[in-house]
Amino acid sequence: MQRRTLLLQLLGVGASATAAPALALINRHGVTGASGPASAASPAAASTVASLPFRPLIGPLPLPGDGLSAAEQQRTYTRVALRDALLVPDGYQVELLLQWGDRLGSGRFGFNNDYLAFTPLEGNRSLLTVNFEYISPRLWVEGYREAMGRDLPFEPLRLGLARLGGSVDSGALAPEDPLREPLLAVARAAMEDLGIGVAEIERDPSGRWRPRAGRLDRRISGISGLSDPDQRLHCSGPASAVFRRRQRLGYDDRLGDRIIGSFANCAGGQTPWGTVLSAEENFQSQVVEAVFADGSSPPPAQRPFRFDGERLDGLGNPFGLCGNKYGWMVEINPRRPQEPAVKHTALGRFRHEAVAVRARAGEPLVVYSGCDRRGGHLYRYESRGRVTDPTDRRNSDLLTDGTLAGAVFHPDGTGEWRPLRPDTPVAPLAGPVLLPHSDRRRGGVERLEQAEAIAAYARRFPTLGDLYEGSDDQETLGALLIDVHYAANAAGITGTARPEDTELDPRSGDLLVAFTSGLASEEGIPDPRIFRGPRGRTPWNEGWIMRLSETGPGRFRWRMVATGGAPADGGLGFANPDNLALDPGGEALWMVSDIGTGELNGDRNGGAFGNNTCWVIPLAGPGAGQAHCFASGPMECELTGPEFSVDGRSLFLAVQHPGEAHGRRRAMAREGRAFSVTTGDGRPLEQLRWVPLGSNWPSGAADADPRPGVVVIRRDDGRPLLAPFS
């Protein structure tokens, strides 16, 4: 049956706003239909739900844990309606803490908040460190005046660039060119909305958190240090030697080993000694990613500035930013704003989207991270020196000298960490594969597909050191680490399914990894022997959570412990797992989903899962291993950065890009969409779903501009969010 025919049949009179209202399934008050509240008919489902301190939200897909019989599912899920709100179960409350445009230190609370880190201070005071990842052009342009209280020349810039094809190398503009002033104004404002922020917050006697302007408030933007050299970031490790090099194949920003700003800050983590690690992810949208054999970058002209109202790229171009200085792990001490942030180059340059730190007395420091791209790799860093006291601030020095390795997964559930050093053999996996270009004067990468060409490449470059150059071993290693994703391709490191977070299980010491999507792209392919969906299906878009156990020097075992997807397809009911968090009590793993905006809007299969959500997966008790929906985000948003207060009574959650597809929701617009779903007993069900177009979150007022923001979720009774599961 065609989608439109199904839609018209379900609506009866067509997809108009005058049709009978659909049942609002996702809400914090349970499900109520024409026949009254839904009841749990399955004893197993009732037992599982009873073991939780909350009744899970019911979403648009029938789930085993929704407490409904197959017949009730048939009635309940025929017509559903999504809501433009952040929804939590009964007994919990949501409070807006910070939003885009709020005052913060010397600047403003930035755009598209992502990772959150909670640092307790004395009394009821704490610090919240926040990453600001990227600009959603439509939302940013629509809401800038309201958020910032001033205008920007968006339209003159768009029209001027349109005459040039939408983009320009700002360095080629004459000083008197009328495009220069609006271009710099917009680029500067966008860069100031990115980076890292530290906000002091305070809990009042009622348990409510509020911002508290203090001396520890801080903003590091995408252009910090541009005009004030004292604000520039520092760097450590082998790539520092590349940055200081006087003779180079590529561009010289003349800053040596100092760096202007940080941007594309996505995931992150905390160290046992009290610092925060902020991961620079999709830097390639704003600066040049490719490098030469010596690790130097092509000129900024190769990533021109672009703005057409829908895209905003090349923000580094107007400021002459050097591409090889972005894509690193940044360490910041939130308690000491006078300390410069440091980019640790021994951890490698790639699209960082995760970090987990293991610090045990008497052992080397270990840091795990993932590269969030299709076919990206999972990495492990091991320091040369050893930890004496895990809480000692001097452990930061261990991030400067060590060995970075990539994960090689085997289909039998074993794996190895392969060091990425100049003496590592070149042994690429079967094509197609992107490798450092064989013309090393040219730099960048090339795509090889045929086995003969790949074998010839390995004969020409026997080791990774043959691909990179430097005046000494440190410079050669630095060049390799700057280009480490493609060096890892050359070394035969396994292509994975977008590793978006890594967390260490404190009970077992195992590493938990969220792999978001198993689809392939021109950039890379997840190994289909490893990343297989239920019943061996590949490619599998809905993702996995993996448990990885170290078994000895350079060795590990792995297994998938949760698989995304609809229950009818063998999944747990969520799609595209992203950030992970373990609650302070250790009873459960928390996960937020990362269904892409295009999929939320109905592209591919992600639209079937509704809005992005937050899930709880118990680690013990009758519901262990099952996924339960705890929160649902506003329209077209992503929920990110789940972080707990130390006492487990508050969950901080970032709401990123609400309304990213349609922008401001106007006149409460919505549309009907048809979906084919499956009930718990395997019966097909044709569903009509009402979907708001755009968002007015967080105000909820009609026609209000949406804004990214951070919320706090608490129990009404003030107790920790989760009671014991057993």
50 is a domain residue: yes
- Cα distance between residue 632 and residue 639, in whole Å: 8
Alpha-carbon distances of 291 from 254, 304, 425, rounded to whole Å: 17, 16, 21
Mean pLDDT of 654-661: 97
Report which of 686, 468, 703 is spatially closest to residue 3, judged by C-alpha positions.
Answer: 686
Summarised one tens digit per residue, pLDDT across range 285-297 is 999 999 999 999 9
Write out the residue range of the structural domain in which residue 40 sits. 1-105+564-726
Through-space distance between the first and last CA atoms of the chain, rounded to whole angstroms: 47
537 is a domain residue: no
Summarised one tens digit per residue, pLDDT across range 548-561 is 999 999 999 999 99
The DSSP annotation for 529-578 comes to TTS--GGG-SS-TT-EEEEEEEEETTEEEEEEEEE-S-GGGTS-S--SEE
Q: Which of 60-69, 216-225, 489-498, 647-656 has the lowest mean pLDDT?
A: 60-69
**What pLDDT score was predicted for residue 52?**
86
**What pLDDT score was predicted for residue 10?**
41
Helix (H) or strand (E) holding 154: helix 154-162
Beta bridge partners of 416: 408, 555
Q: What is the value of pTM for the model shown? A: 0.94
Give backbone dihedrals phi and psi of 191, rounded to 5 degrees, phi first: -65, -35
Count Cβ atoms below 10 Å from residue 280 Cβ, excluding itself: 25
Helix axis angle, 180-192 to 137-148, nearest 10°: 80
**What pLDDT score was predicted for residue 604?**
46
Mean pLDDT of 655-679: 96
Average predicted confidence (pLDDT) for the chain: 92
Given a cut of 90, whether residue 37 has pLDDT beyond it is: no
Given a cut of 80, whether residue 136 has pLDDT beyond it is: yes
Mean pLDDT of 328-333: 98
Summarised one tens digit per residue, pLDDT across range 458-503 is 999 999 999 999 999 999 999 999 999 999 999 999 999 999 999 9
Q: How far, in whole angstroms, is CA 577 from its chain's centroid? A: 10
Given a cut of 70, whether residue 42 has pLDDT beyond it is: no
3-state secondary structure of 160: helix
Q: Is the dihedral of CA 143, 144, 146, 148 positive or negative?
A: positive
Summarised one tens digit per residue, pLDDT across range 144-171 is 999 999 999 999 999 999 999 999 999 9
534 is a domain residue: no
Number of domains in the chain: 1
**What pLDDT score was predicted for residue 621?**
80
- Cα distance between residue 167 and residue 664, in whole Å: 26
Mean pLDDT of 176-186: 97
Alpha helices in 397-472 (DSSP H): 451-460
The larger pLDDT score, comparing residue 50 to residue 309, is at 309
**Exposure of 88 in the CB half-sphere (CA atoms within 13 A):** 18
Given a cut of 90, whether residue 607 has pLDDT beyond it is: no
647 is a domain residue: yes
Given a cut of 60, whether residue 333 has pLDDT beyond it is: yes
177 is a domain residue: no
Mean pLDDT of 40-63: 73
Summarised one tens digit per residue, pLDDT across range 386-432 is 999 999 999 999 999 999 999 999 999 999 999 999 999 999 999 89
**What pLDDT score was predicted for residue 14?**
37
Q: Which of 182-196, 338-352, 461-475, 583-597 has the lowest mean pLDDT?
A: 583-597
- Please name the amino acid found at residue 392: D
Sheet holding 709-715, edge to edge: 92-99, 709-715, 650-656, 638-644
547 is a domain residue: no
Given a cut of 50, whether residue 7 has pLDDT beyond it is: no
Burial of residue 198, with CB atoms counted within 10 A of its CB: 0-12 exposed, 13-18 middle, 19 or more buried: buried
Residues 6+ apart with CB under 8 A from 259: 225, 232, 233, 234, 235, 325, 343
Given a cut of 70, whether residue 5 has pLDDT beyond it is: no
* Percentage of the chain modeled with pLDDT above 90: 86
Report which of 190, 178, 71 is spatially closest to residue 132, judged by C-alpha positions.
Answer: 190
**What pLDDT score was predicted for residue 59?**
92
501 is a domain residue: no
Is residue 329 within 8 A of residue 280, CB to CB? The reply is yes
Helix (H) or strand (E) holding 107: strand 107-108
Residues 6+ apart with CB under 8 A from 244: 256, 257
Is residue 492 within 8 A of residue 427, CB to CB? The reply is yes
Asked if the bond preceding 37 is cis, omega within 30° of 0, the reply is no
Q: Which residue has the tokens 């799609």?
A: 575
Listed in order, strand segments (DSSP E) in 281-421 are 305-307, 312-313, 329-332, 342-344, 356-358, 364-370, 378-386, 402-409, 414-419
314 is a domain residue: no
Confidence of residue 27 (pLDDT cuts 50, 70, 90): very low
**Tokens at residue 79, please?**
């017509």
Count Cβ atoms below 10 Å from residue 129 Cβ, excluding itself: 25
Mean pLDDT of 216-236: 97
Confidence of residue 606 (pLDDT cuts 50, 70, 90): low
Given a cut of 60, whether residue 76 has pLDDT beyond it is: yes
Query: How many residues in total does the chain contain?
Result: 726
**What pLDDT score was predicted for residue 311?**
94
Give, as one character, the DSSP assignment of residue 651.
Answer: E
- Cα distance between residue 48 and residue 55, in whole Å: 10
For 559, left (φ over 0), alpha (ψ -120 to 50), or beta? beta
Confidence of residue 49 (pLDDT cuts 50, 70, 90): low
Confidence of residue 725 (pLDDT cuts 50, 70, 90): low
- Cα distance between residue 155 and residue 141, in whole Å: 10
Confidence of residue 596 (pLDDT cuts 50, 70, 90): confident
**What pLDDT score was predicted for residue 586?**
82
3-state secondary structure of 673: strand
**Exposure of 325 in the CB half-sphere (CA atoms within 13 A):** 29
Confidence of residue 34 (pLDDT cuts 50, 70, 90): very low
Is residue 235 within 8 A of residue 121, CB to CB? The reply is no
